Amino acid sequence: MSLSLSVQPVWLTKTLFLVLLATSRRGSEVLALSGLSRDISLEKDGSISLKFRPDFLAKNQKPGQTSPLIRIPPLSNVLAPGDPDVFNCPVRALSSYLSRTLPIRSETQKLLFISLNTVRGKDISRVTLAKWVSTTIRQAYIWWQSQSGDNRAILPLTAARAHEARAWASSLAVLHSGRLSEVLESAYWRSEDVFINSYLRDVAGTRQDGSSALPSLVAAGQVLHS
pLDDT at 186: 87
- In this model, does residue 6 exceed pLDDT 70? no
Determine the 3-state secondary structure of 72 from DSSP: strand
Range of the domain at 202: 10-224
- In this model, does residue 86 exceed pLDDT 90? yes
Which amino acid belongs to residue 20?
Answer: L
From 38-42, 70-74, 152-156, 187-191, the region with the lowest mean pLDDT: 152-156
| pLDDT tens-digit map of 162-191 | 888 889 899 999 988 888 989 988 888 888
| pLDDT tens-digit map of 24-34 | 999 999 999 99
For residue 5, is it within any domain? no
More confident residue, 91 or 134: 91
For residue 143, is it within any domain? yes
Residue 151's pLDDT band (cuts 50, 70, 90): low
- In this model, does residue 38 exceed pLDDT 50? yes
- In this model, does residue 195 exceed pLDDT 70? yes
pLDDT at 1: 35
Residue 212's pLDDT band (cuts 50, 70, 90): low
For residue 32, is it within any domain? yes
> What does the mean pLDDT of the chain come to?
84
| CATH code, domain carrying 215 | 1.10.443.10
Please state the φ and ψ torsions of residue 115, each to the nearest 5 degrees.
-80, 150
For residue 3, is it within any domain? no
Q: Quick one: average pLDDT of 71-89?
A: 92
CA dihedral sign of residues 59, 124, 186, 70: negative
For residue 179, is it within any domain? yes
More confident residue, 212 or 108: 108
For residue 1, is it within any domain? no
Q: Rounded to an integer, what distance in angstroms lies between the CA atom of residue 171 and that of residue 166?
A: 9
Measured at the alpha carbon of residue 112, what is the angle toward residues 63 and 85, in degrees to the nearest 5? 115
For residue 105, is it within any domain? yes
For residue 23, is it within any domain? yes
**How many separate domains does the chain show?**
1
pTM of the model: 0.86
CA distance readout (Å), 166 to 21, 26, 28, 29, 211: 7, 7, 12, 11, 24
